[in-house]
Amino acid sequence: MSAIKCPACGHQFAATLKATIPDEQRITMSLTPNQSGMFEARTLGQTIDGFRKTLQLIGKDMGTPLSVFVESIKQHDDGEIAVGFLLLQNKAKAGVGRE
Tell me the per-residue pLDDT of 29-58, one tens digit each, with 9 for 90 and over.
Answer: 999 988 777 888 998 999 999 999 999 998
Q: Which residues of 48-63 are buried (b: 16+ CB within 10 A; e: fewer)?
A: beebbeebbeebeeee
Q: Enter the pTM of the model.
A: 0.68
- Lowest mean pLDDT across 76-80, 90-94, 95-99: 95-99
Residue 12 resides in a domain: no
Residue 72 resides in a domain: yes
Residue 3 resides in a domain: no
- Is-contact 62 14, C-beta < 8 A? no
Residue 75 resides in a domain: yes
Residue 15 resides in a domain: no
Residues 6+ apart with CB under 8 A from 76: 82
Q: Is 72 left (phi over 0), alpha (psi -120 to 50) or beta?
A: beta
Residue 9 resides in a domain: no
In the chain, the number of structural domains is: 1
Domain that holds residue 62: 21-94
| pLDDT at position 73 over 90 | yes
Q: How far apart are CA 82 and CA 33, in angstroms?
A: 11
